[in-house]
A and B are shown apart, each in its own frame.
Chain A
Amino acid sequence: MCLGIPGKIVEILDEDLLLAKADVSGVRRNINIGLVHHEDEQVAVGDWVLIHVGFAMSKLDEAEANATLAALKELGDAYEQELEELHASQIE
């Protein structure tokens, strides 16, 4: 729950509900982008975001995303569990 996982936005699904599809370690899941997509800041397809419990919390560049993913993989079980829970997620 406390891990932030980088994902890449692959589709903006709904501008009103602020839903987007993100690719996280090869799996595509819906996320909410309300905290990074508003009048002062926007995300677009191709952007990387740090995802906490289904919400994009901040934007990050690709190098940072890759470094974060590498660090997460080294965490082992904690990251595996988080990914497993994300795989089961069906946000609408």
Chain B
Amino acid sequence: MKYVSEFRDAELARAVSAEIASVTDPERHYKVMEVCGGHTHTIYRHGIKDLLPDQIELVHGPGCPVCVLPMGRVDEGISIAERPEVIFTCFGDMMRVPGSKGNLLEVKAEGADIRMVYSPLDALRIARENPDREVVFYAIGFETTAPSTALTLQRAKKEGLENFSVFCNHVTIVPPVRALLDSPDLRLDGFVGPGHVSTVIGCRPYEFMSEDYGKPCVVAGFEPLDLLQSVLMLMRQIGAGRCEVENQYSRIVPWEGNLAALKSMAEVFELRPYFEWRGLGFIAQSALKLSPAYADFDAELRFSVPGVRVADPKACQCGEVLKGVLKPHECKVFGTACTPERPLGALMVSSEGACAAYYNFGRKSFEKVEIGSKV
């Protein structure tokens, strides 16, 4: 338990850890999925696995927006970025995500005008400053960042900014979780629900997990102690035969979500009939596009984006890792052909990606486990 000293309240962490052990049935194996990539990062950074009994297996979910974007959408972004009239803006996380012929950083080095921005509002400012250029914002993210894109578009419309458009790749969290629950590959006992997504959508959208699938869900905060407490809440539910949605992160997450954010999103976006996810395939109503009222700002329409499908490189097993079927280190190319320095797949790029988290923080513990010495 070498990590315990790093906790804000080490004493409490020990107590929660012991409590989890006491409610764990030694005869049973539990599979708990943390949906959010931020949680995956915290779990490895703080060695949470070492504070849990061996019977509890944490399975990493599809909640990293950079990781779930299929290669075709990366290529399409690059094809827009390569147009001479375009200033292409995106979050830093996207720059190194591999497309089939390279990444945005390489395209930039070859002369494309690609600018990293912190906020979509920075992209809007760039559009104002460059009235003779087409400024495109590469929008990615779950419901955490979708409201920011919505508010930015509302302002662009108010200002009548004609040289600004959005290549929309926003995705929604519930449909992929439902797809995982429908998949025969994986049997899960419960979910650690995402924190920041839930500040926007609230806790109600997770009720299908308990009502339709009989799986408990606990919405969790991002500190290591939050994660431990959430696992304890899940284990207590499982032990008592309950399945409910509980909110461990109520100090930030309101049960009903952020109504102002949901209202802006409803005006600016509509659901796509289907969208492709890396590893999960096409999932109905799982992503957002701009609504007809905002069609003038839709980069897909403005630049006639063809909608190509590109298969992942054969060696990549990102899909199996995203589905929780493989652990990152069980992938054929993990740590050899695919590293954070030279990533083959998106899960190795983003700091929220399960493979990058495993590579940076988790390797030591699984190596020890594999050679048989108990951690």
Instruction: Show the binding face of A for B, using Cβ within 8 Å.
Output: 1-4, 17, 32, 34-36, 38, 40-41, 50, 52-55, 57-58, 60-61, 64, 67-68, 70-71, 74-78, 81, 85-86, 88-92
Give the complex CA separation of A81 and B340 in angstroms. 15
* Category for how many chain B residues contact A: 35 or more
Minimum C-beta distance from B148 to chain A (A): 5
Q: Given A34-B151, A58-B199, A71-B223, check contact A91 B259 (CB 8 Å).
A: no
Residues of B within 8 A of A70 (CB): 8
Q: Please give the residue numbers on chain B whose beta carbons come within 8 Å of chain A beta carbons, in ascending order.
A: 6, 8, 37-38, 41-42, 45-46, 64-66, 91-93, 116-122, 125, 128, 140-141, 144-145, 147-148, 151, 155, 196, 199-200, 222-224, 251-252, 254, 258-261, 264, 351-352
A45 to B65, CA, bound (A): 33
Contact between B251 and A60, CB atoms less than 8 A apart: yes
Known contacts being A58-B199, A58-B258, A67-B223, is A1 close to B122, with CB within 8 Å?
no
A4 to B36, CA, bound (A): 13
The reply to whether B151 and A1 contact each other, CB–CB distance below 8 Å, is no
Are the C-beta atoms of B147 and A55 separated by less than 8 Å? Answer: yes
Contacts of B45 in A (CB 8 A): 74-76
In the bound complex, CA of A66 to CA of B22 (Å): 32
Using A70-B8, A92-B125 as known contacts, say yes or no to A52 and B196 having CB atoms under 8 A apart.
yes
In this complex, the member of A32, A68, A70 whose beta carbon has the largest number of chain B beta carbons within 10 angstroms is A32
User: What are the residues of chain A within 8 A of B254 when measuring CB–CB?
Assistant: 58
Are A52 and B251 in touch, CB under 8 angstroms?
A: no
14 A-B Cβ contacts within 8 A?
A: A1-B92, A3-B38, A32-B121, A34-B260, A38-B260, A53-B118, A57-B199, A57-B261, A67-B223, A68-B223, A74-B45, A81-B351, A86-B118, A90-B122
Return chain B residues, CB-CB under 8 Å to A61.
Answer: 251
Question: Given the complex of chains A and B, what is the CA–CA distance between A53 and B141 in angstroms?
Answer: 11
From known contacts A57-B258, A71-B222, infer whether A4 and B118 are also in contact, taking CB-CB under 8 Å. Answer: no
A68 to chain B: closest CB distance in Å? 7
A54 near B125 with CB under 8 A, answer: no
**Chain A residues, CB < 8 A from B120:** 53-54
The answer on a CB contact under 8 Å between B41 and A54 is no
Contacts of B121 in A (CB 8 A): 32, 54-55, 91-92
